[in-house]
């Protein structure tokens, strides 16, 4: 009886350890999805456009980060030195978001802005077209095969080699970068003058313009912020996953868009919550159901939630404007 009790306790302990590990993996991946999803939800909140090219902006940011690392390595950048490592990561987090922000604003000015007053289907189809163009740019830049992203950050368990749950420096890096970015975005939107202008434009563009708000400037700022978030996610993704490809924008963009819809499209906290839910669903799905069923499980969860709450988890029920 004592031995049976011991085995039962051991099994229960192993169950909780496995559950904790899957939860950690899900939350870490969910933060990456949330960063990308914020770009979708911010643009939709302002001009009600689903920017399908957003995931491919994220993909090109990953290729730029890889190119920068290769150039810095060729110039004898010592990635093994902790100070040089974090200085290099800081440089990546400065240049890549700026590149993605500029690319996103350029796409808006060249493609979306001329279609502002067109039927909603026109900019939507244009966004899909831009997505394919950027995907082919990525194919020319990085090739058809997956590219290895240098493994610069240690995989050693910070909790100790004998710990039942693994929490590596990679996991810490994801949390240390994504959480402050999300917090800074929340403060910016709620407390700054430009953030208030963005919220006013999202609620009623015509009234905001009558109050003296430059709508075009606000839209450009929104695309810039969305692109910068995609650029930050691109750097973190490359350092964490260590594999990039020209098709990664479609897959991760699809999960991020799903997260934005799940949380409530146009709602910033909803995008973060949706990203975490998608990350947890994928982690538990891979662990308990099987990797090949993970995508189906994610969309089953999405459909089930939207059936009972069409506006998403944190979305507000609003009447469609006619």
Residue 38 lies in a domain: yes
Instruction: Report residue 129: phi and psi, to 5°.
Output: -65, -45
pLDDT in tens, the chain (322 residues): 444 443 344 445 567 778 888 899 999 999 999 999 998 888 888 888 889 999 999 999 999 999 999 999 988 899 989 899 999 999 999 999 999 999 999 999 999 999 888 888 888 899 999 999 999 999 999 888 899 998 898 888 888 777 778 888 899 999 999 999 988 988 998 888 888 888 888 888 888 888 888 888 999 999 999 999 999 999 999 999 999 999 999 889 889 988 998 888 888 888 899 999 999 999 988 888 888 888 888 888 888 888 888 888 887 655 444 3
Residue 7 lies in a domain: no
Alpha carbon distance 262, 269 (integer Å): 11
Residue 118 lies in a domain: yes
Alpha carbon distance 169, 29 (integer Å): 14
In this prediction, residue 14 carries a pLDDT of: 65
Alpha carbon distance 223, 104 (integer Å): 6
For residues 32 and 262, the answer to whether their CB atoms sit within 8 Å is no
| Reported pTM | 0.89
Alpha carbon distance 100, 81 (integer Å): 28
Residue 35 lies in a domain: yes
Alpha carbon distance 285, 302 (integer Å): 14
Number of domain units in the chain: 1
Q: What is the DSSP string of 182-250?
A: HHHHHHHHHHSHHHHHHHHHHH-HHHHHHTT--HHHHHHHHHHHHHHHHHHHHHHHHHHH-EE-TTHHH
Residue 8 lies in a domain: no
In this prediction, residue 107 carries a pLDDT of: 95
Alpha carbon distance 178, 29 (integer Å): 11
Residue range of the domain that includes 149: 31-308
Tokens found for residue 179: 């959480």
Give the E-state strand segments of 67-200 in sequence order: 147-148
Alpha carbon distance 224, 226 (integer Å): 5
Residue 146 lies in a domain: yes
Residue 313 lies in a domain: no
In this prediction, residue 317 carries a pLDDT of: 56
Residue 291 lies in a domain: yes
CATH number of domain containing 117: 1.10.3470
């Amino acid at each position: 009886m004592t031995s049976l009790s011991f085995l039962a306790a051991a099994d229960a302990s192993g169950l909780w350890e496995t559950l904790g590990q899957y939860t950690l993996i899900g939350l870490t991946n969910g933060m990456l999805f949330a960063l990308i999803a914020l770009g979708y939800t911010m643009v939709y909140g302002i001009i009600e456009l689903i920017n399908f090219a957003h995931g491919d902006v994220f993909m090109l940011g990953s290729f730029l980060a890889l190119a920068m690392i290769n150039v810095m390595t060729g110039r004898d950048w010592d990635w093994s030195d902790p100070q040089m490592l974090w200085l290099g990561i800081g440089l990546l987090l400065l240049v890549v978001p700026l590149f993605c922000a500029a690319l996103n604003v350029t796409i808006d000015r060249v493609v979306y802005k001329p279609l502002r007053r067109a039927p909603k289907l026109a900019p939507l189809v244009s966004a899909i077209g831009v997505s394919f163009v950027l995907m082919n740019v990525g194919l020319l830049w990085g090739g058809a095969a997956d590219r290895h992203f240098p493994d610069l950050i240690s995989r050693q368990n910070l909790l100790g080699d004998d710990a039942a749950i693994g929490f590596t420096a990679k996991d810490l890096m994801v949390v240390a970068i994504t959480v402050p970015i999300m917090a800074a975005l929340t403060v910016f939107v709620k407390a700054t003058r430009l953030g208030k202008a963005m919220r006013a434009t999202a609620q009623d563009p015509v009234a905001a313009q009558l109050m003296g708000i430059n709508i075009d400037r606000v839209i450009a700022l929104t695309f810039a912020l969305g692109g910068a978030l995609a650029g930050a996610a691109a750097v973190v993704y490359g350092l964490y996953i260590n594999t990039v490809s020209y098709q990664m924008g479609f897959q991760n963009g699809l999960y991020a868009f799903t997260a934005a819809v799940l949380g409530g499209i146009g709602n910033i906290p909803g995008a973060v919550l949706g990203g975490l839910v998608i990350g947890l669903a994928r982690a538990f799905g891979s662990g308990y159901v099987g990797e090949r069923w993970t995508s189906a499980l994610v969309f089953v969860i999405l459909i089930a939630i939207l059936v009972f709450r069409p506006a998403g988890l944190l979305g507000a029920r609003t009447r469609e404007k006619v």
